[in-house]
Amino acid sequence: MKIHDIVFIRIPAKTRILTTALGALREYAADMGFDEPDISWLSLALEEAFCHAISLGYGGEEDALRVVLGKTTLGLQITLTSKGVPLDDEALPQFDQQRLNAEGDMTGMSAFLMRNSVDKATFTILKNNRRKITLFKRLPLTSPASDAEAYPKAPLSGSETPKPSATIRRADHRDAQSISRLALRAHGSLLFNTDIYYPNRISEMLAQGEMHSVVLETAQGEILGHGALVADAPGGLLEEMTYGIVDKRLRGKNYSKELVDALLADAQQRGLHGVYALAVCNHVLSQRSVLSAGFRESALLLAASPPSRSWARPDKAVRAEVEPERIANLLLSRYLKTLPETVLFPPKRHEAMIRRIHEHVGCVERIQRISGQEKMQCRDAELHTKTMRIDVETDVREGWAWIVVLEYGRQTVARITGHLRQLSDQGICAVYLMLPLDVPATATMTEDFEEAGFFFSGITFSPEGREHLALQYINGKPGLNAVEVYSPFARELLDYLHIVSK
Last residue of a domain, one of 335, 358, 386: 335
In whole angstroms, how far apart are CA 8 and each of 20, 78, 402, 484?
A: 12, 10, 40, 38
pLDDT band at residue 492, thresholds of 50, 70 and 90? very high
151 part of a folded domain: no
Nearest to 182 by CA among 217, 133, 231, 232: 217
- What CATH number does the domain containing 242 carry? 3.40.630.30
Compute φ and ψ for 359, nearest 5 degrees. -65, -40
Judge whether 150 lies within some domain.
no
Q: Please report the pLDDT score of residue 60 as a whole number.
A: 65
Half-sphere exposure of 225 (CA within 13 A, CB side): 27
**Is residue 43 situated within a structural domain?**
yes
Q: Do residues 8 and 138 share a domain?
A: yes
Residue 385, pLDDT > 90, answer no
Q: Does the residue 342 lie in any domain?
A: no
Are residues 137 and 12 part of one domain? yes
Same domain flag for 396 and 315: no
Residue 1 confidence (pLDDT)? 64
The string of pLDDT tens digits covering residues 137-195 is 988 644 334 333 433 444 434 444 455 678 999 999 999 999 999 998 887 666 677 88
90/490 Cα distance (integer angstroms): 39
User: What is the SS3 assignment for 103?
Assistant: helix
65 and 105 inside one domain? yes
Q: How many domains does the chain have?
A: 3
What ranges in 209-310 are assigned the alpha helix state H? 255-269, 285-292
User: Is residue 462 included in any domain, yes or no?
Assistant: yes
Higher pLDDT, 395 or 404: 404
> Which band of pLDDT confidence, cut at 50, 70 and 90, is reported for residue 61?
low
Distance, in Å, from the CA atom of 172 to the CA atom of 209, rounded to the nearest integer, reads 10
Kindly state the average pLDDT of the residues 405-431: 91
Last-in-domain residue among 335, 370, 398: 335
Asked whether residue 173 falls in the same domain as residue 141, the answer is: no
Query: For position 368, what pLDDT does the model report?
Result: 62
Specify whether 360 is located in the same domain as 261.
no
HSE, CB side, 13 Å, CA atoms: give it for residue 264.
17
Whether 41 and 86 map to the same domain: the answer is: yes
Q: Name the DSSP letter for residue 482.
A: G
Is residue 421 in some structural domain? yes
Residues 292, 436, single domain; the answer is no
Cα radius of gyration (the chain):
26
Verify that 137 and 240 share a domain, yes or no.
no
Domain that holds residue 472: 348-500
* Domain match, 115 and 242 both: no
Query: The domain that contains 60 carries what CATH number?
Result: 3.30.565.10
* 232 lies in the same domain as 94: no
Task: Give tens-digit pLDDT for 279-323.
Answer: 989 888 889 989 999 999 999 999 988 776 554 444 444 444 444
Based on the domain organization, do 141 and 76 belong to the same domain?
Answer: yes
Q: Looking at this protein, which amino acid is placed at residue 435?
A: L
- Cis before residue 463, ω within 30 degrees of 0? no
Q: What pLDDT shows up at residue 128?
A: 77
Residue 55 lies in a domain: yes
Model confidence at 242, pLDDT cuts 50, 70, 90, reads very high
Residue 406 lies in a domain: yes
Coil, strand or helix at 154: coil
Residues in the chain: 502
pLDDT cut 70: percent of the chain above it: 85
